[in-house]
Amino acid sequence: MSEHAAIEDQGRAAPVIEVRDLHKRFGRFAALDGLDLRVGAGEVAGFLGPNGAGKSTTIRVLLGMYRYDSGEVRVFGAEPRADAVSIHRRLAYVPGDVTLWPSLSGGECIDLLLSLRGVRAAAAPRRAELVERFELDPTKRASTYSKGNRQKVALIAALCADTDLLILDEPTSGLDPLMNHQFAECVRERAAAGSAILMSSHILADVEQLCETVTIIRAGRTVQSGTLTELRHLRRSRVNATVVGDTSALATPIAVHDLAVQGESVTFTVDDTGLGEVTRILAGLDVRRLTIEPPSLEELFLHAYGDGENDGHGDNDGAHDGSGVHGAANEGGAA
């Protein structure tokens, strides 16, 4: 594990997913280069990195679709390829680019996916509820569906099943804001019921809203991992204040950076370790307005990624893919 890797959280639940020092090559190309990942029961975990970072390759390893060269991979304590059948009974997978059977209706696609899991009858009430919540017309042929409606079919099928693990690869792609809200509610419900959820997404606002923990990868390696609170402690908060009178005391703490004073307006950034001292100083001043903004997930991501620089490692997020919804089902039952 690199020096920038996971921040340990001893209070987390036992892992549903545990990956240690994972390596995977395609010929001379290193897609995964010592990656670490951990997701506990009842946890919504964000999995971040731009195209080519290794997210999709990692997911396919977890699903047992790819062999890996070295490292340790456990899902429910079992190895993904050796115990694929038992693992897939307990998980649901939604790919980012959903392919459906074009001659079937949306409802028939959902029913077929649920039948493959052997839960069609048991899931019928939940299916009806989710079709209504996602405002899907299940009578239309899948060939007429937009990308967003194809995504709804995959999400409904995955959320209908009472699984212990959801693996979601760009799950909100194509959804409008209202449906995105419904998706977020469903994810929270599944987590509250004890399901582990791994969510890969380029939409950082979704991850920031939903995820308790975040793992950021770069060039096939984990560069930062922990709760959002833990990761924010690694970066500076921005302070904006309106102060009447002398503000020179704010220049004293070594944790204060970029101090700018224009009349009564004061702005600066402060290290997490210096927030207490700065708060005490501000308490002794005539402060009329004060906001303290923790670093956003976007700022954390850009910092971890060197403002978007890529080392040229990782996967092509689709170059080795055969994983539409029915393709995933053929692999042992994802969506």
> Confidence class of residue 316 from pLDDT cuts 50, 70 and 90?
very low
CA 173 to CA 196: how far, in whole Å? 21
H helix runs in 241-334, sequence order: 275-283, 297-304, 325-330
Write down the architecture of domain 236-294 according to CATH.
2-Layer Sandwich (3.30)
Examine the pLDDT at 310 and tell me if it is beyond 70: no
- Residue with the bigger pLDDT between 271 and 95: it is 95
Span of 6-15, 117-126, 265-274, 307-316 with lowest mean pLDDT: 307-316
CA 50 to CA 73: how far, in whole Å? 22
- With b for 16 or more beta-carbon neighbours within 10 A and e for fewer, the 133-151 pattern comes to bbebebeeebeebeebbbb
Examine the pLDDT at 325 and tell me if it is beyond 50: no
Mean pLDDT for the stretch of residues 161-178: 92
CATH 3.40.50.300 fits 15-231+308-330, yes or no: yes
Q: pLDDT tens digit string along 264-295?
A: 999 998 888 888 889 889 988 999 999 988 77
Q: pLDDT tens digit string along 246-265?
A: 888 898 888 888 899 999 99
Examine the pLDDT at 114 and tell me if it is beyond 90: yes
Q: How many CA atoms lie within 13 A of 272 on its CB side?
A: 9
Mean pLDDT for the stretch of residues 146-173: 94
The answer for residues whose C-beta is within 8 angstroms of residue 92's C-beta and 6 or more apart is: 157, 158, 159, 161, 163, 165, 166, 167, 334, 335
Examine the pLDDT at 333 and tell me if it is beyond 60: no
Nearest to 45 by CA among 28, 62, 24: 62
Examine the pLDDT at 95 and tell me if it is beyond 90: yes
pLDDT in the model for residue 313:
45
The domain spans of the chain are 15-231+308-330, 236-294
